[in-house]
Structure 1
């Protein structure tokens, strides 16, 4: 029988048995050991509200991303940052560095920082800052939500918009006002719950191809998410509601490689664009796609990931069409380390997938900006062609 722990209680303080409150105590919560109430989203939003400048940044960056995705802006969308956020101070330092580069390159790149708080696991493992913020198995989710929101406000204060992956369908109510771009991961790209979620989000959403490399299911997700949906959700006050969405016209495809190997090569991109054009998404869909240089496209090897980005930059500069955005995993220190309490970890080094080191990241961002310069020059000179 489950135990309920009060939101402000300690080890055993203010606990009481569920039995008297459950409708069917013999059949409910058989495999639940404890229920920890979490304050409603409005509590966290009031505790850590966005100021006028942060709100302006979110709105303007969302519009810039939409303009790139629909071909109204010839800049390149770049989603860059740690595989996951585990240390708020390291995230703030990374955002400070990225902001300086963004000010230099924002005429050619729309740079958005990866600020990922939820990590899907193939089996088991650390599931992200929200789930276990102390990295010690204490699973203080209330603290994790607060820290996640604090990280987002810090990133926005540095002058950088934020991107994240939406995994749990409840999480967006706590954080989405501070996020400019969202992703649905390869494991969830065919999920009806996530298609419904995307249909109501106030930002562009990228659907990754599935882990086996299937692009059609991601295209179907873009199509499905463009429609209105009705489903159970919660509102800002934590009440269960029937949500009705308008549909999201800014969903797009992300090529992230697969268990079978990379899919960022010219032929794979061309084939994906053809499949997207033939899909139900139709002519109103985003005319291009994003390439994730990490994950299956580099075998989670940051050295190979550098090569992927350089190859994509060369192709973009040479006039290859259809690549509207690039994603890469980067942190202050390169590589990875196993999760552990913060005082046992190297500062600014990933505890999930290995990342590209900051110095190399900065070089790659300049390489991508130079590629946009070359593409613009070739178009202005009338010699633009797809190689």
Structure 2
């Protein structure tokens, strides 16, 4: 099984197990395994050097029975239909678990954004919108930032969509504040990891002050997660990005690393920090491990090297289904992605609501509402796990699948 189709395979494994526990039929499993709509488009652009390049773009709408499809748009060289399909499926479960009125979708363009100029990225983004605009929008499918994209990319999407349909801020979330973005959206996923971590610690009487953490990923999610966990008194001992990894037993200097990353694009060569081989940040001695970069990074091949006692899934699908079983056998607790990293989609929901109502919430309200929703979702997962004797992922999938199934039932499907 390759890293690119791990997410879909793992989703189907967890879905089948949940449906078996809940007594659902094979037809229900089939319905929840399939996407409602899958799109692939080819996007030609003229590069800055005058050459023609063609990129493949994808958008998958998995389920909209609970509301419009919602999910990110990623730019990465490994994007393909299998990956996007799996991620869209997880979004359906994520929005159901936190009980917001949205479905699941995901998109991506197979490209390396580091190798494209700002002009090339803008042309690529706008042409992608032109090819799929009939299938997206505030009442059907709402995109948001993901790996390799940011608020600026969402601004281009907003601009292109609005040029066709008139001013439509609710058609995309994660926009710049000047275009109707929400306060707190940029930090939301990482900040939400801190909320879930605090709820976990309180429920299971796990002291956080001085607890050690390793974080894979120092992009938007990893950076804000490191800040949130540090604010809880936790000690971040290792961090990494796509090209570098560092460790310091006494705790890394987040400010120095952020400065180095901004100025040089790498985390290495900061005084007092040890450089690690790629992937070693997953294997260091620590209490908590937060894989917050890409999917499929903890597999059957390296699960036995994981020394953390708790894994908090900051990325989507970072633990394969095989690795999930091996970690469970070792007594490692996994806080699943559909709970742990759901802060991003929750605040995207807030942005969508604000845009539809033509209002703007202050940051304090965003943070308070996010804390309420994530804390409630976490307690529901913890309670179901305790009542049924389940691990946290199984409990989360039970809750999410049952909510989607209930919606399907009352629609008459």
**TM-score higher than 0.5 here?**
no
| TM-score (normalizing by structure 1) | 0.31
Asked which structure has the greater RCO (Cα within 8 Å, sep 6+), the reply is: 2
Kindly indicate which of the two structures has a greater share of residues assigned to helix: 2
Which has the higher Rg, Structure 1 or Structure 2? 1
| TM-score (normalizing by structure 2) | 0.29
